[in-house]
Amino acid sequence: MLCFGVTDRPPYVDIYLFIEVLALKAGQAAHICCLQHTEVIMKTVVSALIALTTLTACATTQDTTDTASGVSDPFEGFNRNVYAFNEAVDKAAIEPVARGYRAVVPEPARDGVHNVLTNIRQPVVFANSMLQGNAQASADTFGRFLINSTIGVAGIFDVASTLGVTEHNEDFGQTLGVWGVEPGPFLVLPLLGPSNFRDTFGIATDRALDPLTWTEFESDPDLDDHIAVGRTVLGLIDTRARLIEPIETLRSQPEPYIALRRNYSSQREAAIRNGETEADPYQDLPDFDVYDEESAEGTGAGDQ
């Protein structure tokens, strides 16, 4: 969990913290998306894809694969611009609101908001667990949704965790990964942050899998829109408030964009493995003494 105070944060390996961030961010990229109003999200995704299609024509021919982590980034120039745009918007608007939210709203209330947002996403997690053929995760998720929606008072209290029912975080990007779909090129989406072709498609699909997308309330035809907007706004603030320290850490890295790209990608792969390490994690470790040789070149860890 990302519950470090600013003062007790381990300074650099920050990297681990920041990675954990990315884990959360990766997990919540889809989450935030689900929180978006359909039109907004579709507009964002579509405009990103149009921009990408345009850029494909002028993509450079250099080797764009970060070989150590297998991240392909043929749109690096575009991605770096979107990253800079996101940073500017965040610093001007989103981060101050998130800091204010954390300062003003007491922790139990923030936890309640987070729990509600997590709970209404459980049908999507359930659908993806089923699509991945994961019976245990499906059963846990179904159980969590029932318990927290009832005893947990509409999801405000996470009673299921207290009872020891494991929480899972699945999305359609992960489902595609389980099915063997490759991530494709790395992408930075406007406002939504790091992604790739597979996960971007996953975001839109999760939206379609979400029952709230299709729910209409007869008594109040506008209620579904109000829920969608409330979800989007609260989801954005909640997520950003939980990422305050990790994003500080990311910004303190020598090359934040590279750090984000590498770690988003490896963290997504770990999420697809449901938190298990790779079968042979030491297979591709680089040689540390190679640079003593005159003819030595890099290990590929940083090849762009």
| H helix or E strand, kind and range, residue 187 | strand 186-189
Q: Which of residues 115-134 bind other proteins (CB under 8 A)?
A: none
Is the Cβ–Cβ distance between 45 and 200 less than 8 Å? Answer: yes
Q: Which of residues 243-282 bind other proteins (CB under 8 A)?
A: 252-255, 257-259, 262-263, 266-267, 269-271, 273-278, 281-282
The answer to the question of residue 11 lying near other proteins (CB under 8 A) is yes
Q: Which of residues 12-41 bind other proteins (CB under 8 A)?
A: 12-13, 15-16, 19-20, 23
CA triple 282-286-291, angle to 5 deg: 160
**How many angstroms separate the CA atoms of 128 and 258, rounded?**
30
Q: How far is the CB of 229 from other proteins (least distance, A)?
A: 32
Query: Quick one: 53 or 295, whose CB is closer to other proteins?
Result: 295
Query: Quick one: 200 or 263, whose CB is closer to other proteins?
Result: 263
Q: How far is the CB of 288 from other proteins (least distance, A)?
A: 5
Query: Quick one: 222 or 280, whose CB is closer to other proteins?
Result: 280
Query: Quick one: 220 or 278, whose CB is closer to other proteins?
Result: 278
Q: How far is the CB of 2 from other proteins (least distance, A)?
A: 11
The answer to the question of residue 174 lying near other proteins (CB under 8 A) is no
**How many angstroms separate the CA atoms of 9 and 24, rounded?**
17
Q: Cβ-count burial of 28 within 10 angstroms (0-12 exposed, 13-18 middle, 19+ buried)?
A: buried
Q: Which of residues 37-76 bind other proteins (CB under 8 A)?
A: 66, 68-69
**How many angstroms separate the CA atoms of 283 and 221, rounded?**
57
**How many angstroms separate the CA atoms of 195 and 82, rounded?**
12
232: number of Cβ within 10 Å: 18
Is the Cβ–Cβ distance between 126 and 138 less than 8 Å? Answer: yes
Binding string, residues 75-94; x marks residues near other proteins by CB under 8 A: --------------------
Q: How far is the CB of 76 from other proteins (least distance, A)?
A: 10
Q: How far is the CB of 69 from other proteins (least distance, A)?
A: 8
Is the Cβ–Cβ distance between 155 and 118 less than 8 Å? Answer: yes
Q: Cβ-count burial of 264 within 10 angstroms (0-12 exposed, 13-18 middle, 19+ buried)?
A: buried
Could you list the beta-strand ranges (E) of 151-298. 186-189, 193-196
Q: How many residues bind other proteins (CB under 8 A)?
A: 51
The residue ranges that bind other proteins (CB under 8 A) are 4, 8, 10-13, 15-16, 19-20, 23, 66, 68-69, 252-255, 257-259, 262-263, 266-267, 269-271, 273-278, 281-282, 285-286, 288-289, 291-292, 294, 296-299, 301-304
